[in-house]
Chain A
Amino acid sequence: MLPRFYDVTEGEILIDGIDIRNWPLKKLRDMIGFVPQKGILFSGTIESNLKYGDRGASDEEVEEAARTAQAEEFISSRPEGFQTEISQGGQNVSGGQKQRLSIARALVKKASVNVFDDSFSALDFKTDAKLRAALKEKTKDSATILVAQRISTIMNADQIIVLDQGRIAGKGPHRELMKTCEVYREIALSQLSEEELK
């Protein structure tokens, strides 16, 4: 709903105090960095895909975004580096690499609101942790919205919204939710043990 693929039925969503329906669509979408659940890439090169985030981005900016997204290592392991061809639908890179590239693409945009829609699911825990640490650093000044299944991914968020069958089941930081929200505790305990959750 945030990038207005759909409009709200009732109520309003505000960015910087202004209803998103009052922002020009192009401007609104320029403000949002969006990483979809499935890493979707276009045919071209790695560079052209990353610059899709911002056509005017410099090579340094692109490299920095790739570094933050933990994608630099595998990019430089390819003989052509950033000029590596991406085939249609990104079939020649793995799921995790696709996710990292689409994260990097959103970072190139330097948006003021970043939306990550379950964008870490194909990453192993180690990369996931590294990426989040780097992200935290880089996106200090922008709002970040994370959609996730893994508790460890979102544990450190300022605010967690728990959704159950379309309804909001709980809202608040991790510690509070552990006490107040049954659904959240259930999910959390199913993934991690008591002491890890503290």
Chain B
Amino acid sequence: MSEKKSSGMPMGRGGGLGQKTEKAKNFKGTMLHLATYLKPYKISVIIVLLFACCSSVFSIAGPKILGKATTKLYEGLIAWAMGTGLLTDFRYIRNRLLLLVVLYVVSALFSYLQSYIMSGVSMKITYELRKNISEKMNRLPLNYYDTRTHGEILSRITNDVDTVNQTLNQSLTQMITSVTTLIGIVVMMLSISIRMTLVAVLVLFVSMGLIVTVVKKSQKFFAQQQKSLGNLNGHIEEIYAGHHVVQIFNGEKEAIEKFRLINDKLFGSAWKSQFLSGMMMPIMSFVSNLGFVCVCLLGGYLTVKKVIEIGDVQAFIQYMRSFMQPISQIANVSNTLQSTAAAAERVFEFLAEEDEIRETESPVVLNQVHGNVEFKNVCFGYQPDTTIINHFSSQIDAGQTVAIVGPTGAGKTTVVKLLMRFYELNSGQILIDGHDSLTFTRRDLRSMFGMVLQETWLYNATVMDNIRYGNFDKSDEEVISAAKAAHCDEFIRTLPGGYHMVINEESSNLSQGQKQLLTIARTILADPKILILDEATSSIDTRTEVFIQKAMDKLMKNRTSFVIAHRLSTIRDADMILVMKDGDIIEQGNHETLLEKRGFYSDLYHSQFAEQS
């Protein structure tokens, strides 16, 4: 988050100085961990570092050599003016310049090579990180995904890995070159004149002091600006999303007034922050120009005194110009390193999450599944310390229909998730045909079940492939007959391209009802022995709803079915009704026995027809 915030602050040179960066909890540990990823590429990394050093050393040597040439030229000029000797020693100058060209070319070559090698290495590491993450994702228990937002997990996979990649790719070598350049420049400057170096350092400190003061001042306004901007966006989003409501309650004026208030605030802080950061550049260049003047004066004086040569002054000024750059680069890079550590830490944290319970070593394989399901003293809670299902036992015979009923939010899907072993029980057992569900592999277990849920899941492929997802071995004919059984065939034929129409990524080219019919066809094709159905058919037109119900009824024949029931007819005809409230199963039995009980179920049943009775 904070990276985003700081990116909005244009801060000119020396930018990294005042930015807030996300801090890693354990900087050193994370960096060491990251270093283990670099280990296989030890040699490449050493070469890279060496090349980076060489590249900067060669480019630092440049101005000094150029300075020598200038001195020679100047001497020649003086000599010519004095009328003594020949013109300038152009041969010397030419050699110097040629040397310079060679140096720069070599320096560029080194820098090219090191970045070439480094991008290879960093890409390989990122590839490995991504691979590890994707493998990890399939091993994580579902609970992990429930307790975190999608955005958070996504950001770990994409942003955080990208940040690490970028640092490896650039920041690492930048750090090396910056440090070498800085040391090199200081050494060079000192070798020219200690006094002049002192002046240069003084200028540096003065301008750094100024920057810090200005940044501190402007930071406050930047923070305000960000906050107002956030409020403004929030307000716009809200009003836009609810503009029908705004209109019907005649709230337009109010909304506009509120917008004006926030906008005024934004204006106030924005112009102040922009003004202050805009002032930075002029102040900086004023100070550094002042520094140049001082250095030139001093240099001129020293040249006259013959302490240094004229070329040295020129070289010195060149060094001084490039003095600031490595310093601000180091500041930037150390910021980046901080956020990289934070990013890498998040990635490693993710990789270190606890896996799902391991598969059994000797799984049971059933040749024929009948569909008997038994719950034996089942206890479960999403958090280990709060159980919501307490000691639930029930015996369901093959082919029976179980209706799960209860008010919204009663936890009807919990039962489903437990059956499919998306979550592990706290205690107790779920037996399928007499075997504990733990003794199956998850794969085998889940292949016994077929699910048709309210939320459909289709993927970006043809209609045919989407139905075939139930069982990849089936032929086209079998797919089509499954589609017919699910009342899909008719509408599929009216689609452009029929069975070969590609469903787009959001599957928005199908209606909600059509999607549900497709998932039913998919389940028919898979032919599982145990079914999990969600009857809710909200936002589906009535005609399609009838089709869906017909298809579902067909599907349920001769299969053990768990139905999250909404239709009273289903509930009444069910062999067993599980009544849920606040996460727990509080009653079970069939319609008649439950009504006689006069408990929660009979309340629920009667409340629907409150006015009639």
Contacts A121-B538, A122-B408 given; does A29 touch B610 at CB 8 Å: no
B238 within 8 A of A: yes
Residues of B within 8 A of A26 (CB): 250
A173 within 8 A of B: no
Interface size on B, residues (CB 8 A): 33
Beta-carbon contact of A190 and B567 below 8 Å: yes
Contacts A126-B607, A129-B608, A156-B611 given; does A43 touch B234 at CB 8 Å: yes
Q: B474 → chain A, closest Cβ, in Å?
A: 30
Of the candidates B234, B244, B245, B569, the one whose C-beta lies within 8 Å of that of A88 is B234
Residues of A within 8 A of B610 (CB): 129-130, 133
A186 and B238 CA atoms in complex are apart in Å by: 39
Beta-carbon contact of B249 and A53 below 8 Å: yes
A96 and B563 CA atoms in complex are apart in Å by: 22
Residues of A within 8 A of B387 (CB): none
A34 within 8 A of B: yes
Beta-carbon contact of A88 and B567 below 8 Å: no
Which residues of B in the span 222-246 have a Cβ within 8 Å of any Cβ on A? 234, 237-238, 241-242, 244-245
Which of B162-170, B188-196, B428-436, B542-550 sits within the interface? B542-550
Beta-carbon contact of A183 and B542 below 8 Å: yes
Beta-carbon contact of B241 and A40 below 8 Å: yes
The interface size bin for chain A is: 35 or more
Of the candidates A89, A109, A156, the one whose C-beta lies within 8 Å of that of B249 is A109
Of the candidates B234, B244, B249, B408, the one whose C-beta lies within 8 Å of that of A123 is B408
Contacts A88-B237, A125-B608, A193-B569 given; does A96 touch B408 at CB 8 Å: yes
Contacts A123-B408, A149-B538 given; does A196 touch B248 at CB 8 Å: no
B352 within 8 A of A: no
Beta-carbon contact of A126 and B407 below 8 Å: yes
Residues of A within 8 A of B42 (CB): none
B603 within 8 A of A: yes
Q: In the complex, what residue of chain A is closest to B605 when comparing beta carbons?
A: A125
A186 and B541 CA atoms in complex are apart in Å by: 11
Residues of A within 8 A of B95 (CB): none
Q: In the complex, what residue of chain A is closest to B567 when comparing beta carbons?
A: A191
- Can you sample 15 A-B contacts with CB below 8 Å? A3-B247, A29-B248, A125-B607, A126-B604, A126-B608, A129-B608, A129-B609, A129-B610, A133-B611, A186-B542, A186-B543, A187-B542, A190-B567, A191-B567, A192-B568
User: 15 more A-B contacts (CB under 8 A) besides A36-B244, A89-B241, A123-B408?
Assistant: A32-B248, A34-B248, A40-B242, A88-B237, A88-B238, A89-B237, A94-B409, A96-B408, A109-B249, A122-B408, A125-B608, A128-B608, A129-B607, A156-B611, A183-B542
